[in-house]
């Protein structure tokens, strides 16, 4: 059920997923978008929207976590598992404490992940 939530975040736009690489980039971009929305909701004290956007972000991290391939990914998969789990913890804390501090960390980490992913995929295209 949770994985359907994460995927539906983009399928609602009828976007054709060309590759798993594109899907991962889109999921990271979704995290950035939804976390920013959650942060705005906290700033304007809109509890309902805060919960909604944090839940959407949580669903994406859960999908990323569930899709890790430990056999093929080895140490990277284990690292990402810990990283995604920590982001889920931060999202729960932000929701419980109505705090943007944790969301800022989620945004920072996700921007770095997206940047690293973009670098990796562009290197693959160059080779």
Average pLDDT for 74-99: 95
Q: What is the pTM of this model?
A: 0.81
Q: Mean of the pLDDT values across residues 18-22?
A: 78
Residue 47 banded pLDDT, cuts 50, 70, 90: very high
Residue 10: give the domain boundaries.
Answer: 2-126
Compare 117 and 90 and report the one with higher pLDDT.
90
Tell me which of 6 and 78 has the higher pLDDT.
Answer: 78
In the predicted structure, residue 3 carries a pLDDT above the cut 70: no
Dist CA 121 CA 14 (whole Å): 23
Task: Give the closest residue to 64 by CA, choosing from 34, 93, 27, 29.
Answer: 27
Looking at residue 20, its pLDDT comes to 81
Q: How many domains does the chain have?
A: 1
Under the banding of pLDDT at 50, 70 and 90, the label for residue 70 is: confident
Residue 27 CB partners (closer than 8 Å, separation 6+): 6, 9, 10, 60, 63, 64
| Residue (of 25, 104, 18) closest to 60 by Cα position | 25
- Residue 115 belongs to domain with CATH number: 1.20.120.340
């Amino acid at each position: 059920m949770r994985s359907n939530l994460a995927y539906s975040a983009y399928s609602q736009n009828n976007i054709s997923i060309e590759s798993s690489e594109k899907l991962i980039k889109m999921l990271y971009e979704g995290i950035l978008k939804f976390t920013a929305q959650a942060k705005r909701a906290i700033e304007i004290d809109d509890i309902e929207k805060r919960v909604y956007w944090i839940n959407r972000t949580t669903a994406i991290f859960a999908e990323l976590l569930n899709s890790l391939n430990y056999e093929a990914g080895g140490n990277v998969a284990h690292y990402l598992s810990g990283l995604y789990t920590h982001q889920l913890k931060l999202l729960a804390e932000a929701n419980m404490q109505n705090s943007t501090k944790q969301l800022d960390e989620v945004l920072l980490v996700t921007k770095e992940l997206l940047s690293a992913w973009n670098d990796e995929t562009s290197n693959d295209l160059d080779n």
